[in-house]
Amino acid sequence: MTTSETFGRTIQLFLVDGKPTGLRKATIHGWTGLLFVSGASAFGELTARSEVDRTGVYILSGPDPDKPGVTRVYIGSGNSVSERIEQSAKKRDFWETAITVTTSDDDLSKGHAEYLEARLIRVTTQAGRVTLDNGTQPDTDRRRLPEADVANMEQFLANLGIILPVIGLDMLKPQPRAVTQVAKLANDKTAEEVHFEIRHKSGVQATAVEEDGEFVVLEGSEALIGTGYVQQSYGGLKEKMIVEGVLIPHAEDRMRFAKPWPFGSPSAAAAVVLDRNSNGRLEWKVRGSKLNYHEWQQAQACGSEVTE
């Protein structure tokens, strides 16, 4: 057995009141971590839980009022998570989802919680997927923990990285390497990846790779503008990319990607590139091939090799 092997994990998501929009309880089999998730309507039920009146950390998340399409989060800790999250929620208007993190055996100390809070803030900042509402970044050394405790809390953090995306908050996941590397290095890093392309009749060209479940459009790709299509579900996202300087002016009818950008799906990427709602599974083709993304996926499922 090698240490590089990856094993499956069992995550249990329990609907406390039987409603998908109500209070939810999330756990990983074999881990003492205990998460509760609620919206504003179930917030009172969340804070009333005895498991939340324990030492731990919490997260408030919602749309960033200053950046369309971006999530804003606040991360905190406390000896009584229920008390602290109530105080924090009253001071913030942006949040729509509240998440508490404690343990089933109530074995987190104040030092553990403060360490987790600091590490969550640091990793979230490094990932750059959300806007942090926290004004400062606490130091992980403010509470000196024994070496064994640090190791345990790092494993705790790793489990949070697994369970948080399942409940809808992907704030800890590192950016794809095609996004974090400079242009030349990114091209080198993605040289062995399957590249997809759009070659539109307008002359617009775009190239993308798929990495860790995200569809990354690479730097130098183009995107149409001003097509006049009414059906544009990703118009808000495109405006956000323009404001943030991801898309910059390139020609009268198009813009250029100044840096790589990860999309949640091929269709979202195609919609931004073509300036209209698009089926990305058909629009994106394997570079140098007639296969579209859908056909490529089918070939992968059958174990067939596709070369560019």
List the Cα angle 211/212/215 in 5-degree steps: 45
291 and 201 both lie in a single domain: yes
CA distance 263 to 158: 24
Q: Are 172 and 42 a contacting pair, CB within 8 Å?
A: no
222 & 290 share domain: yes
Predicted confidence at residue 300, as pLDDT, reads 80
Domain containing 90 equals 11-166
Q: Under a CB-based contact definition with an 8 Å cutoff, are residues 185 and 219 in contact?
A: no
- Residues 183, 146 within the same domain: no
Check whether residue 217 and residue 160 sit in a common domain. no
| Residues 169, 161: Cα–Cα separation, whole Å | 10
Looking at the domain assignment, is residue 172 inside a domain? no
Q: Are 86 and 58 in contact (CB under 8 A)?
A: no
For residues 92 and 205, membership in a common domain is answered with no
Q: Is the pTM of this model over 0.85?
A: no
Structural domain contains residue 145: yes
What is the predicted pLDDT for the residue at 251? 87
134 and 214 in a single domain? The answer is no
One domain, residues 36 and 157: yes
* Domain-embedded: residue 307: no
User: Does residue 150 sit within a domain?
Assistant: yes
Instruction: Note whether 36 and 23 are within 8 A (CB).
Output: yes
Secondary structure class of 241 (helix, strand, coil)? helix
Determine the Cα–Cα distance for residues 281 and 270; give it in Å rounded to an integer. Answer: 9
What total number of domains does the chain contain?
2
Q: Note whether residue 84 is domain-resident.
A: yes
Long-range CB contact pairs, 156-160, < 8 A, 24+: 156/33, 156/116, 157/116, 157/119, 157/120, 157/123, 159/28, 159/31, 159/33, 160/33, 160/101, 160/120
Last residue in a domain, options 166, 186, 212 = 166
pLDDT of residue 2: 43
Within 10 angstroms of residue 201's Cβ, the number of other Cβ atoms is 5
For residue 306, being part of any structural domain is answered with: no
My answer on whether 242 and 279 are in the same domain is yes
* CA–CA separation, 26 and 166 (whole Å): 9
Q: What is the pLDDT of residues 138-191, one digit of tens each?
A: 766 656 799 999 999 999 999 999 999 999 999 998 877 766 654 444 445 445
Helix (H) or strand (E) holding 158: helix 147-166
The upper half-sphere exposure of residue 206, i.e. CA atoms within 13 Å in the direction of its Cβ, equals 34
Q: Could you give the CA distance from residue 257 to residue 219 in angstroms, rounded to a whole number?
A: 5
Q: What is the pLDDT along the chain (308 residues), one digit of tens a residue?
A: 344 466 788 999 999 999 888 999 999 999 999 999 999 999 999 999 999 999 999 999 999 888 777 899 999 999 999 999 999 999 999 999 999 999 999 999 999 999 999 999 999 999 888 999 998 777 666 567 999 999 999 999 999 999 999 999 999 988 777 666 544 444 454 456 789 999 999 889 999 999 888 899 999 999 999 887 766 678 888 888 898 899 999 888 999 999 899 998 999 999 999 999 889 999 999 998 889 999 998 888 776 665 55
Residues 160 and 185 in one domain: no
pLDDT of residue 153: 96
Residue 133, classed as helix, strand or coil, is coil
